[in-house]
Amino acid sequence: MMELELNNITKKFNKVIAVDDVSLQVKPSEMFFLLGPSGCGKTTTLRIIAGLERPNRGTIKIKGKDVTMVPSHKRNLAIVFQRWALFPHKTVYDNIAFGLKMRKMPKEKIKSKVENILGTVGLFGFEDRYPRQLSGGQQQRIALARALVINPTILLLDEPLSNLDLNMRRKMRIELVNLHSQLNITTIFVTHDQTEALSMADRIALMDKGKIMEISTPYEIYESPKTEFTAKFIGERNFIPGKVSLTNKSKVIVESDKGLHLQIPISARAPLSKNDKVNVFIGPEKVEISKKKSANQENVFSGEIQNVMYLGSIKKYQIILECGEVIICDMQTISDSDILNCCPGEKVIVTLDPQSCVCIPKKAKKEGAY
């Protein structure tokens, strides 16, 4: 049985459609992400799940039971917001104990639960501190402890790491993944940060303008995006606009607006016809560049390095092909390629491996389907 089901949820605020016919299913113990740009309806969706907003249309089921009309405090969910909203005048102990006191749990039981959960988030011994005496990361863990201590059916997290600096954010991502595999609690995590979603999710629902564009695993959503929106939002891909100039049983040829001819194996998912307008996407890590002619026969072009950026673990090359198309290529700095010594102005051979090219119709025929 599914842990959570949203069926055709729609929420309007006056004329704004914040959530537009959203349906999704979350499995028990899953780490499920709602990902999308600011304003796409993630928080509203989460608040609807929590019972803090009433949808105009649609139903919500938790463990198979319809809770659409069940008030928030009877859904047994816990939510952690972007601003952690700890009570500033309460100690860590009282912050965490708050929900248990509301539930009228006996004192001794509260004490052991609070101590237990403080151990889980690695802050045993911090009971008497006030929020202002804690670092951002510690406050975040207290907010998490306060949510977890009530044993919620589902943990809802709304951008819980975005108030932290980058290093702390990276550390907390790993801690949260570890905590999740230890507690196995079904978690819905809202973020606008694709790296966060890719690195932590079991599955990702990608949203745009209130709609779900695609639901997939991180691998699927990165390697085989199904919509133009996905391909542009996830990763930093090269995209080459053009149109289909030939199709046969095994491949299509796309002629780019600048005159590049690209061979692409037919993908069963996106049937294409001649003259269809498309975008061809290829990740910068999949572009091959070399000084010598490559063994590959297809999609091999000459170009010239325009600039090189050193980013520590990779070097990023901007290359202009003879037809004028500009391609970005990432190369691992530990590779033994002769390219690593190349400077702007040098000629190179660029290969856009057909298997790595993703070809998506400009107005995807199945936009929004998944």
In the complex, the residues that contact ligand ADP under the rule CB under 6 A are: 13, 16, 18, 36, 38-44
Smaller CB separation from ligand ADP, 15 or 74:
15
Nearest approach, Cβ of residue 150 and ligand ADP (Å): 24
Using CB under 5 A, which of the segments 38-46, 62-70, 139-147, 268-276 binds Mg ion?
38-46
Using CB under 5 A, which of the segments 37-45, 71-79, 227-235, 277-285 binds Mg ion?
37-45
Smaller CB separation from ligand ADP, 188 or 359:
188
Using CB under 5 A, which of the segments 43-51, 63-71, 297-305, 316-324 binds Mg ion?
43-51
Q: Could you say which of ligand ADP, Mg ion, none residue 40 binds, taking C-beta under 5 to 8 angstroms by partner kind?
A: ligand ADP
Nearest approach, Cβ of residue 21 and Mg ion (Å): 19
Smaller CB separation from ligand ADP, 38 or 250:
38
Q: Give the bridge partners for 32, in sequence order.
A: 188, 203
Nearest approach, Cβ of residue 53 and ligand ADP (Å): 8
What CA–CA distances, in Å, run from 158 to 30, 123, 164, 190, 250?
Answer: 16, 22, 14, 5, 45
Nearest approach, Cβ of residue 37 and ligand ADP (Å): 7
Q: Could you say which of ligand ADP, Mg ion, none residue 44 binds, taking C-beta under 5 to 8 angstroms by partner kind?
A: ligand ADP
Nearest approach, Cβ of residue 42 and Mg ion (Å): 5
Class of residue 319 by CB neighbours under 10 A (exposed 0-12, middle 13-18, buried 19+): buried
Q: How many CB atoms lie within 10 A of CB 124?
A: 12
Phi, psi (rounded to 5 degrees) for 198: -60, -40
Residue 43 near Mg ion by CB under 5 A: yes
The SS3 assignment for 370 reads: coil
Q: Give the bridge partners for 334, in sequence order.
A: none
Report which residue type is found at 242: G
Q: Give the bridge partners for 79, in sequence order.
A: 156
Task: Report how far Cα 109 is from the mean position of its chain's Cα atoms.
Answer: 38
Smaller CB separation from ligand ADP, 83 or 293:
83
Smaller CB separation from ligand ADP, 92 or 200:
200
Nearest approach, Cβ of residue 230 and ligand ADP (Å): 16
Q: Could you say which of Mg ion, ligand ADP, none residue 169 binds, taking C-beta under 5 to 8 angstroms by partner kind?
A: none
Nearest approach, Cβ of residue 41 and ligand ADP (Å): 4
Phi, psi (rounded to 5 degrees) for 310: -90, 120
Contact 18, 41 (CB under 8 A): yes
What CA–CA distances, in Å, run from 164 to 82, 134, 136, 168, 172?
Answer: 10, 13, 6, 6, 9
Smaller CB separation from ligand ADP, 85 or 328:
85
Q: Could you say which of ligand ADP, Mg ion, none residue 18 binds, taking C-beta under 5 to 8 angstroms by partner kind?
A: ligand ADP
Contact 21, 211 (CB under 8 A): yes
Smaller CB separation from Mg ion, 196 or 228:
196
As given in the structure block, the two tokens for residue 334 are 């530990």
One DSSP character per residue, 267-333 reads PTTS---TT-EEEEEE-GGGEEEESSPPS--SSEEEEEEEEEEE-SSEEEEEEEETTS-EEEEEEET
Nearest approach, Cβ of residue 156 and ligand ADP (Å): 12
| Site for Mg ion, rule CB under 5 A | 43
